[in-house]
Amino acid sequence: MNTGVVSRRYAKALLAYVKEAGTEDKVYEEARRLAASFAEVPGLRQAVDNPVLDARTKLGLLREGAGGKGVSKELIRFFTLVLEERREKFLQFMMWSYIDLYREDKRIIIGRLTTAVPAPRLAKRLEEASSRQTKGKVMIETKVDPSLLGGYVFEIAGRRMDASVANQLKRVEQQFIAKNRRIV
């Protein structure tokens, strides 16, 4: 069966279950933590996929990856179901799918802001302006890249605004080359 199909079905079921229980926000944070754990600790995925380990050990690893002892009983129950059905190899994709479905349900849009130096005020202003424009909640992930030289690059909903000094210099260089080709 297709990884995306299985993952999406389980994620939809998890979202419906936690919405009914009223814990979708808590499970969202736990799913984000677990997804980050999968990314930071490659051995976690290997351990969860390992057929030699028993379900109790795997459940303990997943609980730790999702936040430790304070993990919601709904997510623990979900992990138990996944382990019983032997679908643990899809678990990382299930968490990503749940995060996407949750954001879609809550109208949360993720933007990415890359600046040459840290710019928290710019991030806040762009977040507020984007929220008004999209009529949804916008969360901005920031990253510092000194190679921009100045300015910023903002990406949201498939659009990109490049107001960096590096990009402006590149444009000037391209115009200069194009103009000099005509002269020669």
Domain residue limits, the chain: 3-104, 107-183
What pLDDT does 21 receive?
94
What pLDDT does 183 receive?
62
Report the CATH fold assignment for 3-104. Answer: Peroxidase; domain 1 (1.10.520)
Q: Are 148 and 162 in contact (CB under 8 A)?
A: no
Mean pLDDT by 10 residues, the chain (184 residues): 83 95 94 93 90 92 90 94 92 94 91 92 91 86 91 89 90 87 65
What pLDDT does 120 receive?
92
What predicted TM-score, i.e. pTM, was given to this entire model?
0.76
C-alpha Rg value of the chain to the nearest Å: 22
- Measured distance CA(27)–CA(5) in Å, rounded: 21
What pLDDT does 180 receive?
82
Closest CA to 64 of 48, 51, 82: 48
What pLDDT does 34 receive?
94
Query: Which distant-in-sequence residues (6+ apart) come within 8 Å of 50 by Cβ?
Result: none
What pLDDT does 130 receive?
87
* Greatest alpha-carbon span in the chain: 75
What pLDDT does 9 receive?
94
Q: Are 16 and 101 in contact (CB under 8 A)?
A: no
